[in-house]
Chains A and B, each alone.
Chain A
Amino acid sequence: MVTTVVAQEVTLKNKLGLHARPAAHLVRLAAQYKSNVVLVKDDTRIDAKSIMGVMMLAAEKGATLTIECQGEDEEELLAKLVQLVEDKFYEE
């Protein structure tokens, strides 16, 4: 079986990076979808549905991440996540 992954690179532009509320936002959004999501930063890969994983990623403003989605609703989820990052997590 061939598994496909959709992925996109994003740069964090919000002030706080992936701390606290932004992290919570992202995890809540990801949890609404069936697809698996992995965030990749440098050599670290974490499950974006895990608040603790996202927190441990310690991604600050300016960090570049790759979002990888895989599953039946992967396209939509990826688009939503990229949008969230682009909109600076609605924090500003």
Chain B
Amino acid sequence: MTRKNGETKVSASHHAEREIIVRGISASPGIAIGQVHFLRGDVAAVPPRKIAPAEVELEIERLERAIEETRAAMLQSRQRAMAMAGTAVGRIFDAHLLILEDQELQKEVRGRIAREQFSTEFIVYDTMGRTIELLEKQMGELFRERAMDVRDVRAQLLRFLQGGPDAAPEHPDEPSILVAANLSPTDTLHIDRTHIMGIATDLGGPTSHTAILARSFEIPAVVGLGDISARVKSSQTLILNGNSGKVVIAPTAASLKEYRDKHKRYQQLLANLAGLRDLPAETSDGHAIELHGNIELPHEVESVRTHGGTGVGLFRSEYLFLTREAPPGEEVQFEAYFKAAEGMWPGPITIRTFDLGGDKLHPGRSALAERNPFLGWRGIRVSLSHPDLFRTQLRAILRASVKKNVRIMFPLIASLWEVREAKKALDEAKIALRQEGIAFDEKMPVGIMIEVPSAVILADQLAREADFFSVGTNDLIMYTLAADRGNEMVAKYYDAYHPAVLWAILDTVLCGHKAGISVGLCGELAADPLATALLIGLGVDELSVSAGIIPEIKKIIRSIRFADCQEIAARARELPTAEEVRTLLEAEMKRRFADLPIWFTTER
């Protein structure tokens, strides 16, 4: 479980040492230990340096050379990103090229060098700084993202001005944790993967560029850590736990040992688990579970396969908005969905339609208007109020279903009419495709996310409209307990093991099974090894987790008996508090499976 910005000070009684634990958002799994390696998210301020009038021409030549070199580097970045993460990620760099090539900006910089006679570095720093300031003053996420782009371009340009790319990313020569306020896509792309063992940033969410690229590269990462970059010192030791979203600053000798052991055993475990890859996710008494992976980028299906997943339980299609451009067109979407479907075939992939806040569509506007975005215009609500956008996505998904292994699901369903509307739109898209003679799967299963309490209450009715359910625990917990885990004042009220949450899952399963449909679970709870036996005992048919977690969960599933799971679940659901549920699970799991991996991949 991740908590944001919470913090616990732990003092080791036998030492004067004091370690600090900072909680952030887990962005990419794995454990890393290393020295702090700073990457200042931005360049240091450039002081004004006067030049002689005779030097002006030379300075302008330097500017022009640096622009050329930066352009070449950007084109390379773009190509590299496309090769590694696909077209949509590569497009991030298109915006950078346009800014670099901005004629007005170049004219202004040249003009100022000639008029004011300061060094090119200073004029570039100052001129672009004004733009950054102006952009940051504007309302809306889009302007802030653009400001970040201008910053990124400025940093690259200054690197070349100050002596070529070698002067830029100082690569550490020992195992390090990269610490930064924020990482730009360029920084993340050029991380030295031999020495950077982990990434810790002040800002960012689970779908930020950093998070997506880190997962792609399989580097453990924790984001949203508040002010960690200001709190750590160079060469201080850090422990980073990308599974739990925690960072330990200046760990005590005891903690270090504990984590080194944990890390070692984790590595051994991963090596052992590799042997499970082709074995089914089935309990020892023969109860089969669909064990699937969550993905954002089409190429991640490879990772799901190599980790032994048999399908994709959640393809977060929002990644297509990553480039912050206009909504992606039908072809771009089709290409992405089809690539994933083809890569996973014959295993199924479940594509969730855009689950976005409205701010991505109307930059600036909804950010202002919505005081409470979690209760606002997002998920299926956005899709239903944008028929064009929705139709484009439905067509792309349908076209990708031609090999009959695609399932579609709708996020944030709160009422029956929303399902009917969404299915109506889907039927219309099918009619149009038929008329155009374009092939698709006529029987593509249609599912809904169960993440709003009203959907749990009405699960009986909803089950008759859907081909499957997928419980999104992150939102379901938040809405059921009315607690935003990102708000440290109430983070402790957000608890996956709250009895109300267990009952919500159980109710959903019972209603689903009564209607003969399968019930999956795709939130973070699915990836918590402590919960596996409980969830299976509650009757969940499918678990979908990030690819790296699949082997551990499979190991647990294969080690337990379904009958035991049912017994654990039956006892857990009678307990009145989350604390008691957790205590029960820990005791049961420890008693029955002392050698299971859960004792070192999660911390308690």
Residues of A near any B CB (own CB < 8 A): 15-16, 19-22, 24, 27-28, 31, 47, 49-53, 55-56, 58, 60, 89, 91-92
- A22–B102 alpha-carbon span in the complex (Å): 15
> In the complex the two chains form, is A15's CB within 8 Å of B104's CB?
no
Residues of A within 8 A of B388 (CB): 15, 92
Residues of A within 8 A of B364 (CB): 58, 60
- A89–B103 alpha-carbon span in the complex (Å): 22
A–B complex contacts, Cβ < 8 Å, 30 sampled: A15-B326, A16-B361, A16-B363, A20-B324, A20-B325, A20-B326, A21-B325, A21-B326, A22-B326, A24-B98, A27-B98, A27-B102, A31-B103, A47-B104, A49-B104, A50-B102, A51-B98, A51-B99, A52-B105, A52-B131, A55-B135, A55-B143, A55-B146, A56-B131, A56-B135, A56-B138, A60-B365, A89-B326, A91-B327, A92-B388
The chain B residue with its CB closest to the CB of A53 is B104
Residue B142 interfacial (CB < 8 Å):
yes
The chain B residue with its CB closest to the CB of A56 is B134
Residues of A within 8 A of B325 (CB): 20-21, 24
How many Å from the CB of A60 to the closest CB on chain B?
8
How many Å from the CB of A65 to the closest CB on chain B?
17
- A75–B131 alpha-carbon span in the complex (Å): 31
Residue B150 interfacial (CB < 8 Å):
yes
Residues of B within 8 A of A89 (CB): 326
> In the complex the two chains form, is A49's CB within 8 Å of B103's CB?
yes
- A55–B132 alpha-carbon span in the complex (Å): 12
- A91–B326 alpha-carbon span in the complex (Å): 7
Residue B94 interfacial (CB < 8 Å):
yes
The A-contacting residues of B in range 59-106, CB under 8 angstroms, are 94-95, 98-99, 102-105
- A60–B143 alpha-carbon span in the complex (Å): 13
**Candidates B102, B138, B143, B361; contact of A51 at CB < 8 Å:** B102
How many Å from the CB of B187 to the closest CB on chain A?
21
Residues of B within 8 A of A31 (CB): 103
Which residue, of A19, A55, A60, has the highest number of chain B Cβ atoms within 10 A?
A55
Residues of B within 8 A of A16 (CB): 326, 361, 363
Residues of B within 8 A of A19 (CB): 142, 326, 363
The tally of residues in B whose CB lies under 8 Å from a CB in A reads 26
The chain A residue with its CB closest to the CB of B389 is A15
> In the complex the two chains form, is A58's CB within 8 Å of B326's CB?
no
Which residue, of B104, B143, B326, B361, has the highest number of chain A Cβ atoms within 10 A?
B326
Residues of B within 8 A of A91 (CB): 326-327
- A89–B99 alpha-carbon span in the complex (Å): 20
**Candidates A24, A49, A55, A56; contact of B94 at CB < 8 Å:** A24
How many Å from the CB of A46 to the closest CB on chain B?
8
Which residue, of B99, B102, B105, B150, has the highest number of chain A Cβ atoms within 10 A?
B102
How many Å from the CB of A83 to the closest CB on chain B?
18
- A15–B99 alpha-carbon span in the complex (Å): 23
Residues of A within 8 A of B94 (CB): 24
New contact pairs (5) apart from A24-B98, A49-B104, A58-B138, CB-CB < 8 Å: A15-B361, A27-B102, A50-B102, A51-B102, A52-B131
> In the complex the two chains form, is B103's CB within 8 Å of A52's CB?
no
How many Å from the CB of A69 to the closest CB on chain B?
16
The chain A residue with its CB closest to the CB of B91 is A21
- Mask, B27-42, CB within 8 Å of A = 1, is 0000000000000000
Residues of A within 8 A of B142 (CB): 19-20
The chain B residue with its CB closest to the CB of A14 is B326
Residues of A within 8 A of B138 (CB): 56, 58
Residues of B within 8 A of A20 (CB): 95, 142, 324-326
Residues of A within 8 A of B362 (CB): 60
The chain A residue with its CB closest to the CB of B106 is A50
> In the complex the two chains form, is A52's CB within 8 Å of B324's CB?
no
The chain A residue with its CB closest to the CB of B392 is A92
- Mask, B113-153, CB within 8 Å of A = 1, is 00000000000000000010011001000110010001000
- A52–B131 alpha-carbon span in the complex (Å): 8
How many Å from the CB of B133 to the closest CB on chain A?
11
> In the complex the two chains form, is B104's CB within 8 Å of A52's CB?
yes
Residues of B within 8 A of A52 (CB): 99, 102, 104-105, 131, 150
How many Å from the CB of B454 to the closest CB on chain A?
30
- A15–B103 alpha-carbon span in the complex (Å): 27
- A52–B100 alpha-carbon span in the complex (Å): 10
- Mask, B13-49, CB within 8 Å of A = 1, is 0000000000000000000000000000000000000
How many Å from the CB of A53 to the closest CB on chain B?
6
How many Å from the CB of B427 to the closest CB on chain A?
22
Closest 9 CB pairs of A and B: A50-B104, A21-B325, A21-B326, A51-B98, A20-B325, A47-B104, A91-B326, A49-B103, A51-B102
Residues of B within 8 A of A53 (CB): 104
Which residue, of A20, A24, A28, A92, has the highest number of chain B Cβ atoms within 10 A?
A20
- A58–B324 alpha-carbon span in the complex (Å): 15
How many Å from the CB of B318 to the closest CB on chain A?
16
How many Å from the CB of A41 to the closest CB on chain B?
14
The chain A residue with its CB closest to the CB of B150 is A52
The chain B residue with its CB closest to the CB of A61 is B362
Which residue, of B104, B135, B361, B362, has the highest number of chain A Cβ atoms within 10 A?
B104
Residues of B within 8 A of A22 (CB): 326
Residues of A within 8 A of B103 (CB): 31, 47, 49-50
- A91–B327 alpha-carbon span in the complex (Å): 8
- Mask, B319-349, CB within 8 Å of A = 1, is 0000011110000000000000000000000
Residues of A within 8 A of B135 (CB): 55-56
How many Å from the CB of B227 to the closest CB on chain A?
29
How many Å from the CB of A62 to the closest CB on chain B?
12
- A22–B95 alpha-carbon span in the complex (Å): 12
Residues of B within 8 A of A47 (CB): 103-104
- A24–B95 alpha-carbon span in the complex (Å): 8
- A53–B138 alpha-carbon span in the complex (Å): 13
